[in-house]
Amino acid sequence: MDIKSAEQKVAELHNLLNQYNYEYHVLDKPSVPDAEYDRVMNELIAIENEYPELRAPDSPTQRVGGNTLEAFEKVAHRTPMLSLGNAFNEEDLRDFDRKVRQAAGDDYSYVCELKIDGLAVSLRYEDGLFMQGATRGDGTVGEDITANLKTIKSIPLRISEPLTMEVRGEAFMPKRSFEALNKAKEEREEEPFANPRNAAAGSLRQLDPRIAASRNLDIFLYAIADVGETGVVSHSSGLDRLDEFGFKTNKERRKCSTIDEVIEYVEGWVERRPDLQYDIDGIVIKVDSLELQERLGTTAKSPRWAVAYKFPAEEVVTRLKDIELSVGRTGVVTPTAILEPVRVAGTTVQRASLHNEDLIREKDIKIGDYVVVKKAGDIIPEVVNVLEERRTGEEQDFRMPEECPECGSGLVRLEGEVALRCINPKCPAQIREGLIHFVSRNAMNIDGLGEKVISQLFQEGLIEDVADIYRLEREQLLQLERMGEKSVDNLLNAIEASKTNSLEKLLFGLGIRHVGAKAAKTLAQEFETIDTLMDASKDELTAINEIGDKMADAVVAYFEKEEAIELIGELKAAGVNTEYKGPKPVKAEEIDSYFAGKTVVLTGKIEQLGRNEAKQKIEELGGKVTGSVSKKTDLLIAGEDAGSKLAKAQELEIEIWDEEKLLEELNR
């Protein structure tokens, strides 16, 4: 075959394969068997191997994944990818409609679409050719994941018209792909993905595109970012144009003339969502007219012409097979429900905390009961109630034991507490949990010393208290299962690096009762060295703002114990820093900062800084960061996927910033 014949054949094969791809991945109506598709693809590969100059960027062969990248490049979005405000009930939807009606009168309509639970991406086409794909990032700057997006076969590498434009969509992992992926991971004894959303996001952020190609991802396009060349005047006609260009859009969308029709659509999908072959976490409602969208405008964070209705927590029924007990680092004995595995809000749930004996009695939970389970905030599994009508009489009452399940010591219920507690300081469970807490991210942050490794070291008798961590030797670690030379060296380096942490990290890691991360920092700032803190009286402690009687008593009691004094001495001997390294606190009135004297709440994902760093910077500038929204809150910083705190702040008319505004203020 000469070059001219090859060129004609390549064009013919391109057309055939693009047609087959579109029929299979977009229309879901394949016209040829897989064997025929493979035959045509192999013919194209053979010609391109013989004539590499004919291998075009939009060739179907370019979807299989190329070379591994070293890092993702940053991409500035030409049109910002704003996040949406949330609605949680009918009242919120009607409130959104009222605001639209104030601006539009009675002449408007909505488009309702399924809110796909995946990863928002932007695709840029030049003269009809797919040139670049990026993650949402912070809405202004994302990451270039073009190579990974090319592996999604429902994304056309060339569209039907030679337009230059940017389109937006949600990449996701279908349920069948997710199940196959996790099955393969389990066979390799690897940790499975928690849900399809995490799996999709993890796949698209792989530096090796071949991994993304193996994950069978999909996408629904939901908007044209800049409609300039397309001539569309409404959101619904924009979706129709995306169909014409060859993109895959979600066909479950509906145009609604009134908010009552919107609510009917929403209620219908609350019931039908489990029937879908992909996960959704709500409904997106958008004003249809682009001219009205322009008039309504946007806030710093989200458009005023759209809202995301978030589904109520999904509830399912399963059987409670048993109740297990675990002992935490403070000695609290917690009952946990062992459930017949059931899928809830995108993940398989087998355990749910029952908190304490009082809750079990209040809900009348028995072993063998059929129970309703949900995820609080779509994250933490909990037992909602018992289905008494399904009882057979074989169910068993549960009673908390009188002795610790780990060490056999008698359990006590301290005054004013509902929890049963083991007060044996040598209880192995408490020691193990205390070690896990000591190395955790907010404490000494020793990378590589996770729960499994700590348990292994404890079981082997290599560590009994936190000082033992700093006595670990290379040869000891190399003898442990699954500990190779590189992982041992990395672990020892991480342990060595932790010695330089500032005092507040150590104080929090020690697990002194009632002393959280914030109190640890306050104490470290005030006393500066652990020796000074150890000598502090209760009066000196309570004189500090935010340190109450309970905490002061706990600190004094901890440092009065001989074993605590001995432990601090061992940590010092190992070279662990016991001094505060951060900036001294400055009184709010002495700081020239917007945050000085203000109460701030952080919610959602703070992409660029991370929540801990953002909190630290705000506090250094005189702000007080709290965990809940109230009338005393001055400012809410809303990151990506902000939830109920954002809704409450809007209700209380509290000032709301996005991360971009926060960074702008911090960089002044």
- Shared domain check, 555 and 628: no
Instruction: Check if the beta carbon of residue 667 is closer than 8 Å to that of residue 608.
Output: no
DSSP alpha helices (H): ranges in 235-334?
235-245, 259-272, 290-296
pLDDT of 347 over the 80 cut: no
Domain end among 498, 520, 542: 498
Domain end among 310, 328, 355: 310
- Shared domain check, 542 and 459: no
Confidence class of residue 377 from pLDDT cuts 50, 70 and 90?
low
- Shared domain check, 151 and 133: yes
Confidence class of residue 346 from pLDDT cuts 50, 70 and 90?
low
pLDDT of 234 over the 80 cut: yes
> Hey, what amino acid is at 664?
E
Confidence class of residue 463 from pLDDT cuts 50, 70 and 90?
very high
* Residue 276 C-alpha from the chain's centroid: 22
**Residue-level pLDDT at 496:** 95
Question: What is the C-alpha separation between 55 and 46, in angstroms, rounded?
Answer: 11
Task: For residue 87, list its beta bridge partners.
Answer: 309
pLDDT of 489 over the 80 cut: yes
What residues contact 382, with CB distance under 8 A and at least 6 apart?
A: 352, 353, 373, 374, 375, 376
Query: Does residue 582 belong to any structural domain of this protein?
Result: no
Nearest in space to 571 (alpha carbons), one of 440, 457, 437, 470: 470
Question: What is the C-alpha separation between 407 and 405, in angstroms, rounded?
Answer: 6
> Hey, what amino acid is at 646?
L
Query: Does residue 583 belong to any structural domain of this protein?
Result: no
Higher pLDDT, 260 or 481: 260
Higher pLDDT, 24 or 129: 129
Using alpha carbons, list the distances in angstroms from residue 204 to 86, 108, 570.
Answer: 26, 38, 46
Instruction: Look up tokens 């809000």; give the residue.
Output: 345
- pLDDT mean over 2-21: 86
**Residue-level pLDDT at 587:** 56
Give the torsion sign (CA, 631, 633, 635, 637).
Answer: negative
Which two structure tokens, joined as six digits, stand for 426? 């040598």
- Shared domain check, 137 and 233: yes
| Percentage of the chain modeled with pLDDT above 90 | 46
Instruction: Check if the beta carbon of residue 656 is closer than 8 Å to that of residue 634.
Output: no
Domain end among 379, 398, 417: 398
Instruction: Check if the beta carbon of residue 86 is closer than 8 Å to that of residue 307.
Output: yes
Confidence class of residue 18 from pLDDT cuts 50, 70 and 90?
confident
Query: Does residue 287 belong to any structural domain of this protein?
Result: yes
Which CATH number belongs to the domain containing residue 297 in this structure? Answer: 3.30.470.30
Q: Which of 108-122, 293-307, 530-544, 588-602 has the lowest mean pLDDT?
A: 588-602
- pLDDT mean over 281-286: 94
Question: What is the C-alpha separation between 637 and 623, in angstroms, rounded?
Answer: 12
- Shared domain check, 523 and 440: no
The DSSP-derived string for 355-407 is --HHHHHHTT--BT-EEEEEEETTTEEEEEEE-GGG--S--B-----SB-TTT
Instruction: Look up tokens 């055939």; give the residue.
Output: 16
pLDDT digits (tens, 9 = 90+) for 351-372: 998 988 888 999 999 999 999 9
* Active-site residue list: 115
Which two structure tokens, joined as six digits, stand for 39? 């035959």
What residues contact 580, with CB distance under 8 A and at least 6 apart?
A: 502, 503, 504, 524, 525, 527, 528, 529
pLDDT of 589 over the 60 cut: no
Question: What is the C-alpha separation between 218 and 181, in angstroms, rounded?
Answer: 14
Which CATH number belongs to the domain containing residue 322 in this structure? Answer: 2.40.50.140
Which two structure tokens, joined as six digits, stand for 226? 């800049």
Q: Is 537 strand, coil or helix?
A: coil
Question: What is the C-alpha separation between 114 and 251, in angstroms, rounded?
Answer: 9
- Shared domain check, 332 and 305: no
- Shared domain check, 305 and 174: yes
Instruction: Check if the beta carbon of residue 142 is closer than 8 Å to that of residue 77.
Output: yes
Confidence class of residue 450 from pLDDT cuts 50, 70 and 90?
confident
pTM value surpassing 0.85? no
DSSP structural state of residue 603:
E
Q: Which of 75-84, 113-122, 579-588, 654-663 has the lowest mean pLDDT?
A: 579-588
Which CATH number belongs to the domain containing residue 517 in this structure? Answer: 1.10.150.20
Give the torsion sign (CA, 216, 221, 226, 232).
Answer: positive
Q: Is 307 strand, coil or helix?
A: strand
Please report the beta strands in 136-251, taking only residues with DSSP state E, as ranges in sequence order: 141-143, 165-172, 218-224
Which two structure tokens, joined as six digits, stand for 240? 């129709």
Question: Residue 318: which H helix or E strand, with range?
Answer: strand 315-327
Query: Does residue 438 belong to any structural domain of this protein?
Result: yes
What residues contact 193, with CB distance under 8 A and at least 6 apart?
A: 178, 181, 182, 185, 199, 202
**Residue-level pLDDT at 120:** 93
Question: What is the C-alpha separation between 223 and 347, in angstroms, rounded?
Answer: 29
Confidence class of residue 631 from pLDDT cuts 50, 70 and 90?
confident
Confidence class of residue 467 from pLDDT cuts 50, 70 and 90?
very high
The three-point CA angle 119-125-131 to 5° equals 80
Confidence class of residue 254 from pLDDT cuts 50, 70 and 90?
very high
**Residue-level pLDDT at 68:** 53
**Residue-level pLDDT at 338:** 96
Dmax (CA) for the chain in angstroms is 94
Question: Residue 551: which H helix or E strand, with range?
Answer: helix 549-560
Q: What is the mean pLDDT of the chain?
A: 88
Which CATH number belongs to the domain containing residue 43 in this structure? Answer: 1.10.287.610
Which two structure tokens, joined as six digits, stand for 624? 């007080």
Specify the number of domains making up the chain: 6
| Percentage of the chain modeled with pLDDT above 70 | 95
Query: Does residue 340 belong to any structural domain of this protein?
Result: yes
- Shared domain check, 319 and 306: no
Instruction: Please list the helix, strand and coil fractions of the chain in percent, rounded to the nearest 5, in that order.
Output: 40, 20, 40
Question: If you compute the radius of gyration of the chain from its CA atoms, what whole number of angstroms results?
Answer: 29
Using alpha carbons, list the distances in angstroms from residue 524 to 127, 585, 590, 599.
Answer: 60, 10, 21, 22
Question: What is the C-alpha separation between 491 and 427, in angstroms, rounded?
Answer: 27
Confidence class of residue 419 from pLDDT cuts 50, 70 and 90?
confident
Q: Which of 453-457, 507-511, 591-595 has the lowest mean pLDDT?
A: 591-595
Which two structure tokens, joined as six digits, stand for 154? 């429902």
Pairing of strands 370-376, 347-353: unpaired
Across 328-346, b (16+ Cβ under 10 Å) vs e yields bbbbbbebbbebeebebbb
Which CATH number belongs to the domain containing residue 615 in this structure? Answer: 3.40.50.10190
Question: What is the C-alpha separation between 113 and 250, in angstroms, rounded?
Answer: 8
Higher pLDDT, 215 or 301: 215
Q: Which residue range(s) make up the domain with 555?
A: 503-573
Query: Does residue 198 belong to any structural domain of this protein?
Result: yes
Which two structure tokens, joined as six digits, stand for 22? 């579109």
- Shared domain check, 223 and 96: yes
Q: Which of 29-38, 75-84, 234-243 has the lowest mean pLDDT?
A: 29-38
Task: For residue 323, list its beta bridge partners.
Answer: 337
| Edge-to-edge order in the sheet of strand 315-327 | 347-353, 333-344, 315-327, 370-376, 380-386
Phi, psi (5° rounding) for residue 344? -130, 125
Confidence class of residue 70 from pLDDT cuts 50, 70 and 90?
low
Query: Does residue 648 belong to any structural domain of this protein?
Result: yes
**Residue-level pLDDT at 40:** 83
- Shared domain check, 228 and 122: yes
Question: What is the C-alpha separation between 49 and 52, in angstroms, rounded?
Answer: 5
**Residue-level pLDDT at 591:** 67
Burial bucket for residue 116 (CB in 10 Å: 0-12, 13-18, 19+): buried
> Hey, what amino acid is at 250?
N
Query: Does residue 330 belong to any structural domain of this protein?
Result: yes
Nearest in space to 72 (alpha carbons), one of 203, 170, 207: 207
- Shared domain check, 349 and 304: no
- Shared domain check, 302 and 194: yes
Question: What is the C-alpha separation between 626 and 518, in angstroms, rounded?
Answer: 10
